[in-house]
Amino acid sequence: MGNANTNSTFQFEGQKEVYNGKVRDVYTLDNGLLVMVASDRISAFDHILPKGIPHKGQVLNQVATMFLEATRDIVPNWLIGTPDPSVAVGYACEPIRVEMVIRGYMSGHAAREYKAGKRILCGVPMPEGMKENDKFPEPIITPATKADEGHDEDISREEILSQGIVPEDIYVKLEEYTRALFQRGTEMAAKQGLILVDTKYEFGIRDGEVMLIDEIHTPDSSRYFYAEGYEERQANDEVQKQLSKEFVRQWLIENGFQGLEGQTMPEMPDSFVEVVTDRYIELYEKITGNAFERADTSNIEGRIKNNVDAFLKQLND
């Protein structure tokens, strides 16, 4: 098992500040650029798990890069380049404080709310008579407020507008981009024998223009089912075979943890860490159609520092 990058402490030329998120470490430079290091940390129920997952950051970064490049015709995005397997460099944007969540199927959070008896999610009605993992008649957008710490909260379109979080003309554009991106992601997944179940997008503003930021269509931000056997599994009330972080959440639930007060995070055995790595690599290979090449993890910090320094120097020359 390779080493995991769980804590980066870089100092890049022109660095102004560092933001350590649940999974990413974002370095802001004084020239309006961001260096985003995808760590091997893994979070679930808004808690960072105690062990890193080797190569997870590389998987996220490379999958996100592929989809960012494949959707530039739909919406401009922040990405300039990827100087290292685990690093993206791009433009700093003013984040829009809403996550645009879109769901094609009754899964995950939506299914849990539905089972609890709710039929409206973020102001959007959900049809009666559905069961977990059924397809919605049309994809539904269920936004969430973007929290710096703790839980993101469900919010409706009406609440977003009434609270002035996003102007209406911008929000309409976010919805249009969200539907178009989900359609593109759905089509790309289908070519690889996958179903894009649900996902989330984050946007920002740069020079007055809405831009797509952060990752898209990765196993951290999305849920995928295998298309083969989907109908049969639904008909037989069987669990869907999926590629996402949901199996990590299920493992935590089985071990008595859902991020609730008084609960203790279970210890992750190395055997489970290896399983998680393998699942992330499986998704990479399945969604991209390419063999995964594991980056050298003998000196992750040194590798990243050298690659990023060389890239920034080239940009500045």
Provide the residue ranges of all domains of the chain, joining segments of one domain with +. 15-93+272-316, 95-243
Provide the pLDDT for residue 147: 64
**283: nearest Cα among 215, 214, 222, 199:** 222
The CA distance from 194 to 211, in Å, is 27
Q: Which residue numbers in the chain have pLDDT < 70?
A: 1, 147-151
- Class for domain 15-93+272-316, per CATH? alpha beta
What is the model's pLDDT at position 179? 98
pLDDT value at residue 294: 95
**Mean pLDDT of the chain, nearest integer:** 93
Q: What is the pLDDT of residue 21?
A: 86
**pLDDT score for 289:** 92
Residue 7 is predicted with a pLDDT of 86
Q: Is 95-243 the same fold as 15-93+272-316?
A: no
Q: What is the pLDDT of residue 177?
A: 98
- Terminal Cα-to-Cα distance of the chain (whole angstroms): 39
**pLDDT score for 129:** 96
State the amino acid at position 41 in one-letter form.
R
Contacts of 89 (CB under 8 A, 6+ apart): 33, 34, 35, 36, 79, 80, 81, 82, 83, 308, 311, 312, 315
Record the tokens describing residue 284, joined without a space.
Answer: 């990479």
Question: Which of the listed CATH numbers 3.40.50.10540, 3.40.50.300, 3.30.470.20, 3.90.78.10 matches domain 95-243?
Answer: 3.30.470.20
